[in-house]
Structure 1
Amino acid sequence: MTDTAHALSASRTLWDLLARRAALTPGHPVLLQGDRVLTFGALRDRAERTAAGLYDMGVRPGTVVAWQLPTRLETAVLTFALARLGAVQSPVIPFYRDREVGFALRESKAEFFAVPGVWRGFDHGEMARRLGAKGVFEAYDGLPDGDPAVLPAPPADGTSVRWIYWTSGTTSDPKGVLHTDRSLISGGSCLAHALRLRADDVGSMAFPYAHIAGPDYTVMLLLYGFPAVLFEQFALPDALAEYRRHGVTVAGGSTAFYSMFLAEQRKQPDTKVIPTLRLLAGGGAPKPPELYHAVVREMGVQLTHGYGMTEVPMITMGSPDDTPENLATTEGRPPRGMEIRIVDGEVRLRGEAVCRGYLDPSQTAEAFDEEGFLRTGDLGRLTADGHLVLTGRLKDVIIRKGENISAKEIEDLLHTHPSVTDAAVIGLPDPERGERVCAVIEQPPGAERLTLPTVTAYLRAQGLSPHKLPEQLELVDALPRNETLRKVLKYKLRERYSG
């Protein structure tokens, strides 16, 4: 991390961080979208005017403001306006609908709710009215505006809870995760430090700004003073023109994004898909080692992968100067200040980037151990040089005839098969075995259709123990994924195939 970035990382609040960056490089671009450019100075000035407009509407320090907005310049301006006021923000992923949105509004006790109006054919304003939301206002093309002279002093305390993020709801209600400005700055600093980025880099945000990765990435931009291209809607190959137009050097998001870029590269193997690209980086889902090797070999770029979650936006991150072995098989190392402890195989965490808990105190009590370490539910181990290797999820361990089987181990081997695009391994109830191993596979177009005998023969040849071999194979056109970082939703597969 450069001296300037290191000094900025000590900022007390997100507003303090923006103000200090804007004073250093006011005319440098920070956010790019289509033909629009927002500089660091303009982001600060527009956020102050928007904060004044919000203040005129009745938003005060500590007021809970929920927002469900796409990835746009206006969204970034609004979130920094709320940070300027010291309001409590509750970002909601724009793809969520009545159940999740209603739950978030009720649990957070939001007094205002910013929506995009009609977006991608869905009327968010009508949903807000249907849910009885308070203080509904649109924040898509236009934002509240006012005279900054009315504003109180910026917040000075960075350790108060000012963010309520929501874990992805699956079969149960999502959890409200409590963050502070300092926990978000700490997470973004970890990302910035690991990636060894430069002021002449151009980044990209192809994920929802309302995801925990939004502030994580924005903190990195503020620390290093370089811009990022925003994608309101991301799809390949359509988005490639914007990557090329702005000369993006750093892209990614999660494992699914790596696979999508690789698929585009394979259409024209001899022509670099994004000529300026030098690094793919992300996290949010397991990364098969073979995918790392394929990206480096076929795209001619580096790939660094990390480990984070809503509760801790950045835990570990691979660094471009790590060895290929570490980059392929580990999640990188933690930054200074992040303590990792392995207890009975489970990864536990303590440090400034860790959330303050949950809205529900009982969930907080259950999630933290007696020494203040967060129980992640992830299984892993630390290597001799401090790299973290994730081996699966506690709930992803398949217990077959009393033997524990790691789904991830089987998935990593399946990813090395040339006729497998993606794979998910799940345990299904079985009256004789307790659970049986089921492999659900996506295949590339034109590939010969796999059968259970061919899959098990391949896995045997790769050295997999016989008791871990799948006993059921399902082929699907596409694995079910969430709309944020496109994680595979295994609970849907369990529901589908448990009958």
Structure 2
Amino acid sequence: MSALSAEVPAQDDGYVSYDDSTRDRYRAEGWWSGHTLPAVLEHAAATHAGQTALVTPEVSWTYRELLDRAGAFARGMAADAGARPGDAAMFQMGNVAETVVAYLGCVLAGVRPVCTLPQHGSREIGLLAQHTGARFLLVQDDFGNGRLRQQAQDLSARGLVQSVIVARGAAFEGARAYDDVLAAGASDPSAPPAYLSMDPASVAVFQLSGGTTGLPKVAPRLHEEYTYNSRAWAEAMEYGTGSRLLYPLPIMHNAGISLALQPAMLSGACLILAPSADITTLTAMIEQHRPDVLPLVPPALAIRLLDAPEARTADLSSVRSFVVGGQKLPVEVAERLRDELGIQVRQMFGMAEGMFLLTPAGSSEDVRHHTVGTPISAGDEVRILEPGSEAAVADGEIGELAARGPYTIRGYYRAEAHNQTAFTSDGFYRTGDLARRHVTAEGTFYSIEGRIKDVINRGVEKIHAEEVEELIVQHPGVRTAALVAMPDRVLGEKGCAFVVLEPDAEPLTVASLADHLLALGLARYKLPERVEIVDALPLTNVGKVSKKQLRDDIEHRLAAEDRQEER
């Protein structure tokens, strides 16, 4: 392998690092290696050079072929695009081979990927560029209807990004083509890796915390801890050179990177990247490529699989590990998967901030159907706290899940004020999720019982109500508004906007509200899917909007509508 990175003093550029004693302990335990993420990934790729690394509908590459392309892109980022170690690059790319090459190339170049999604709108991308100081924006020209190209042109014209790299399409004026960056790097294969001068205690990747608010919450994933996050997951899932992982969700997401791409590379497994989570595509790829692992299936996708006729006839027998996560899985769905499709589910809980829980492969059905498992690392620490307090609740009682460990962040990026309340005095991250600890004969496991934070879980995507509300009230006809979750059989939750209009304002509909929000750059998946016009919003006894009453209200309305349809 190439030389591993030497340790240099960490530079404080807005992230919270681990203290020296903690870092020394994690290294002594063997959880941290003292090396950077790119050094470890390059070593793993060299070790498994002849193995198949990546399969998409368009390519099948060995580790050697993938590493050669990633290395060329890394050198091209420096030579052609002028990237320097410590720069940040935002991604708006889908599940294509170019995304994997560009991500790995940025990591090898010391450029910090900002793992945005192609679904994000111009507002989110603009805010993230300002917050992370990102110089680069990588876009996939043929994604969707070509919206990303226009959005990139707009962001570039407004000076919010300095350089745009366009993949799978021609570069516009002032932008660079992905192929040109790749070619520039391929012409000089002797250039030394940029990561040799990097500090393993510094930021490697920026991940988003389930969505954005007015000030994006960005999780800075550091080299050693993010490497260990992926290695611990690979070990918990028993990945090896014979493993074949099928991943249909967005790869440029913390789940895609730390459950699929990086763990696969560190273990020599084959990553099969599906272009979408469409059921027809998914079942066809299972039959064609015979994966043994689906490392993350949202409950919404599991329900769609149950409802799809093609799933009844497809041969799904190759899948030994079908892991469901993202939100609470109804027990009846787990039982239907078992009885109707022969799928034995495992559950997991994870977050961009770090901590992963997983039900062990050999655990009982009671554990796999009713809990999200146990931490994947011996270094993980979990507390169940009284909400708003640092006092722990008794086993079996519901409280707030808090976590600390060798791959859980110590603070959000450039968010000192928020970090004061998001972490306990001794560094445990407050997840905002309500959980319960179960001490059983099989071991200690956890179940997720709800959440404290005002977040709507729409499938695998999280929508922060505050962000959407801030934009709704910019409508000239709106006096005030509140966004709450309403139940949905497939997605789990959708957004319902309760709106108080100004006197004599025109009625607001789902369509007209969507036009208003899209014009402000909100991502389409965050749009409210129901609007209720009310005279006033209910208040609690301390004068705050009672979202509990609003959630109860919409549940009652939906139940009444269901009863009416049954008549």
1:139 is displaced (CA, Å) by 2.8
* In structure 2, distance between residues paired with 1:343 and 1:222: 36
Structure 2 counterpart of 1:350, which letter? Answer: R
1:17 is matched with 40
1:298 is matched with 340
* In structure 1, distance between residues paired with 2:491 and 2:421: 34
Q: Secondary structure at the match of 1:120?
A: coil
* Contact 1:18 1:40 survives alignment (8 Å): no
1:47 is matched with 70
Structure 2 counterpart of 1:199, which letter? Answer: T
2:292 is matched with 249
- Aligned counterpart for 1:140 among listed residues 161, 168, 180: 168
Cα 1:249–1:81 change in 2 (3 A) is same
* Contact 2:286 2:316 survives alignment (8 Å): yes
* In structure 1, distance between residues paired with 2:450 and 2:228: 26
1:279 is displaced (CA, Å) by 2.3
Cα 1:242–1:117 change in 2 (3 A) is same
Cα 1:209–1:391 change in 2 (3 A) is same
Residue by residue over 1:133-176, the C-alpha shift from the partner in whole angstroms, topping out at 9 and shown as x without a partner, is: 21111133744132132335534532211222223446645312
Structure 2 counterpart of 1:94, which letter? Answer: P
Cα 1:240–1:358 change in 2 (3 A) is same
2:409 is matched with 355
1:423 is displaced (CA, Å) by 5.2
2:558 is matched with 473
What TM-score comes out, normalization by structure 2 length? 0.68
2:97 is matched with 73
Cα root mean square deviation, aligned: 3.1
Q: For 1:350-429, list aligned pairs within 5 A.
A: 350-359=404-413, 360-384=415-439, 385-395=443-453, 424=493
Cα 1:153–1:54 change in 2 (3 A) is closer
Cα 1:112–1:153 change in 2 (3 A) is closer
Cα 1:171–1:111 change in 2 (3 A) is closer
- Aligned counterpart for 1:228 among listed residues 257, 271, 274: 271
Q: For 1:264-343, list aligned pairs within 5 A.
A: 264=308, 269=312, 271-312=313-354, 314-334=355-375, 335-343=377-385
2:54 is matched with 31
* In structure 1, distance between residues paired with 2:106 and 2:54: 18
2:129 is matched with 105
1:460 is matched with none
* Contact 1:64 1:111 survives alignment (8 Å): yes
2:3 is matched with none
Residue by residue over 1:65-87, the C-alpha shift from the partner in whole angstroms, topping out at 9 and shown as x without a partner, is: 22211111111111111111222
Unaligned runs of 5+ in 1: 1-5, 398-413, 442-469, 478-499
Structure 1 counterpart of 2:128, which letter? Answer: A
Structure 1 counterpart of 2:123, which letter? Answer: R
- Aligned counterpart for 1:129 among listed residues 144, 149, 153: 153
* In structure 2, distance between residues paired with 1:426 and 1:71: 27
Structure 1 counterpart of 2:379, which letter? Answer: G
1:91 is matched with 115
What TM-score comes out, normalization by structure 1 length? 0.76
Structure 1 counterpart of 2:370, which letter? Answer: T
Cα 1:79–1:171 change in 2 (3 A) is closer
* In structure 1, distance between residues paired with 2:494 and 2:77: 48
1:471 is displaced (CA, Å) by 4.2
1:371 is displaced (CA, Å) by 0.3
* In structure 1, distance between residues paired with 2:94 and 2:310: 30
- Aligned counterpart for 1:199 among listed residues 241, 244, 250: 241
* Contact 2:88 2:135 survives alignment (8 Å): yes
Structure 2 counterpart of 1:274, which letter? Answer: L
* Contact 2:131 2:216 survives alignment (8 Å): no
Cα 1:8–1:380 change in 2 (3 A) is closer
Structure 2 counterpart of 1:233, which letter? Answer: S
Structure 1 counterpart of 2:144, which letter? Answer: R
1:422 is displaced (CA, Å) by 6.4
* Contact 1:9 1:189 survives alignment (8 Å): no
* Contact 1:115 1:124 survives alignment (8 Å): yes
Cα 1:175–1:432 change in 2 (3 A) is closer
Q: Secondary structure at the match of 2:383?
A: strand
Residue by residue over 1:52-106, the C-alpha shift from the partner in whole angstroms, topping out at 9 and shown as x without a partner, is: 1111121111112222111111111111111112222212101111111111112
1:195 is displaced (CA, Å) by 2.3
2:218 is matched with 176
Q: Secondary structure at the match of 2:280?
A: coil
* Contact 2:32 2:224 survives alignment (8 Å): no
Structure 1 counterpart of 2:430, which letter? Answer: R
* Contact 2:434 2:452 survives alignment (8 Å): yes
Structure 1 counterpart of 2:145, which letter? Answer: G
Q: Confirm or deny that 1:262 pairs with 2:306.
A: yes
* In structure 2, distance between residues paired with 1:119 and 1:424: 26
* In structure 1, distance between residues paired with 2:276 and 2:384: 39
Q: For 1:148-159, list aligned pairs within 5 A.
A: 148-155=189-196, 157-159=199-201
Deviates more, 1:362-371 or 1:420-429: 420-429
Q: Confirm or deny that 1:237 pairs with 2:291.
A: no
* In structure 1, distance between residues paired with 2:356 and 2:242: 26
1:328 is displaced (CA, Å) by 0.5
* In structure 2, distance between residues paired with 1:302 and 1:322: 11
Structure 2 counterpart of 1:64, which letter? Answer: A
2:209 is matched with 167
Percent identity, please.
25
* Contact 2:304 2:490 survives alignment (8 Å): no
* In structure 1, distance between residues paired with 2:494 and 2:139: 38
Unaligned runs of 5+ in 2: 1-28, 170-177, 387-398, 456-486, 499-536, 563-567
